[in-house]
Structure formats: C-alpha cells, structure tokens
Amino acid sequence: MAMTELKGRLLINEPLVKYTSWRVGGVADRLYLPFDKQDLCAFIKTLPDNEPVFWMGLGSNLLVRDGGIRGTVINTKGRLKDMRINDDGSVYVEAGVPCAHVARFCADKCLADAEFLAGIPGTIGGALKMNAGAFGGETWRIVKSVEMLNAKGDVTQRDPTHFEINYRSVKNENNEWFLSANLSLAPGDSASSIQKIKNLLETRAKTQPTNQPSCGSVFKNPEGDFAARLIEVTKLKGYSIGGACVSEKHANFIVNTGTATATDIENLIKYVRRRVQYLHGVELQTEVCMVGEEKA
C-alpha cells in the first residue's frame, strides 16, 4: 500500500522533545501519527520486516536519549482514542486514551475500581505495557482482554493468561503491541468515584512535582520499602546534574529545571542508584524506560 493511501501523517527526522513529558530527546528517523486503529494496522503492513518500531503515548515514563531513535516511532497521543461500554458491560479503551480520561469515563458510567488510573500520567497502552499503578491500584487487575497488533499488521485478541504479569512489568510476544483493552469493572456510585478521583488528584498535587517536566516515578519500589524514602535518607533531594534535579517535593521524581538534556537525566539516575546502593546496599531498579542512542 502506498503512503498516499494512508490517512495518517509520516514525519521524517522529527525531534522528539515536544513528545516527551521530560521535554528532552533526540530525533526519530520516522514518526507516524495514525488517523485511527485501522489506519495504523495498514501502515504497519507497509513497513519492511526488519524495521525497528517503537510506540509512544504521552511520552511519560520514558527517557529518549539525545541521539534519538532509529527506525519508526508510532505516536498515539490524541489518536487511538475510542472508548465505549461493550454489550457485556466491560469498557473498551484504545491504546491512546489517557489513563485519567478512562478514570473519569468509568466514574461517569457508575463503574468502580478504575479511579486509581487518574494518578497515572500516561495512556492505557503504556499502562498495559508496564502494569502501571498508583495509590494501591494496578492496571492488569482490571483487564479482561486485550487486542494485540503484530509486525505483519494482524490483530489478535488475548486474555491475561497469555502474559507474564508482575510489578511494573509485563512480558508478551516479541513484535506485538497493545492496541486496546477491555476492562472488567464492578458496579459503583458515580459521586463516590468522582470524589475518590478528586481526593487522589489533590494528594498527587501536594506530594508530586506536577508543575515541572518529569516522567513520573523513576525507580520501582524495592520489596518492603519505598524508593523515595531511600533516596531521601541518602540526602539527594535537590541534587542536580546539569538541568536535571532530584525533586525537593518527591525524591523518586527527577525534574527538568529548564535546561536538562537526556544525558543529564540519565547521569543523575545512575548517580542516585550508585549512592543508594553504596549507603544502603539496595540496588534500585528503574521504572522509566530508557531508549534511543547516545549523542555522537
């Protein structure tokens, strides 16, 4: 299929700075903005078999290195945005829908257990990939089934038994990507759910640097402890490298103070890990996904 038959936009050598929540990152060889799910499937069919493909939603939980990404980046922000109630009462959500929108939609439809999604600064596609969680909730606890897209452009329906699901980690077949999910939720009270979301967002605003560019939580919580506590007792709040700084508000956040490069952020992540391991014997594991190449 020729590109002229597709409805999306293909951008060449596109800077990724404006697509990431940290506001850093190099250039993508190609960036595709799909028109809808069907258009995306058609586009995937046009790619060579050996083409590297990387998906990006809101660009949170992601560090794109300054050398950029070789291959093709699929951006779903503002796309793949269909959301509806299925005949069986489950909720169909495409990969590009922000988690916060899903939380509010479910609350409005008198469905409970999705309120925690309001605290996740990403899309459902990203939440599925990493089993994102917030305030005691986790994405895959409410997943009934998912649609997967493979490198040939074929779509397959899968249930949770096809995946190895752990804390902030989901393993699936290579060259398959999340297109949508069907969420199974309990009946609830709309007013109660909306109040829960309001309380959650107020807590988030008080405890997290929501007014500065960040990726969300940088490190996974080690078993029986909290990454933020370990970083704070290591006295690293406010520590900076270049324009990257450990947040004074929440130690498990690294913020871009305005001039940070991806290299600054990655170097700060490495420094925090080294100091925490040296002083406390705990090797912190990154929650953020670091991709792309170093700048030459």
Question: Which residues participate in catalysis according to the annotation?
Answer: 168, 217, 287
Q: Is the dihedral of CA 124, 126, 129, 134 positive or negative?
A: negative
Which neighbouring-strand residues pair with 269?
Answer: none
110/186 Cα distance (integer angstroms): 9
Helix (DSSP H) and strand (DSSP E) numbers for the chain: 6, 20
Host H or E run for residue 246: strand 244-246
76/119 Cα distance (integer angstroms): 20
Closest CA to 74 of 52, 47, 54: 54
> Residue 210 in contact with residue 245, Cβ under 8 Å?
no
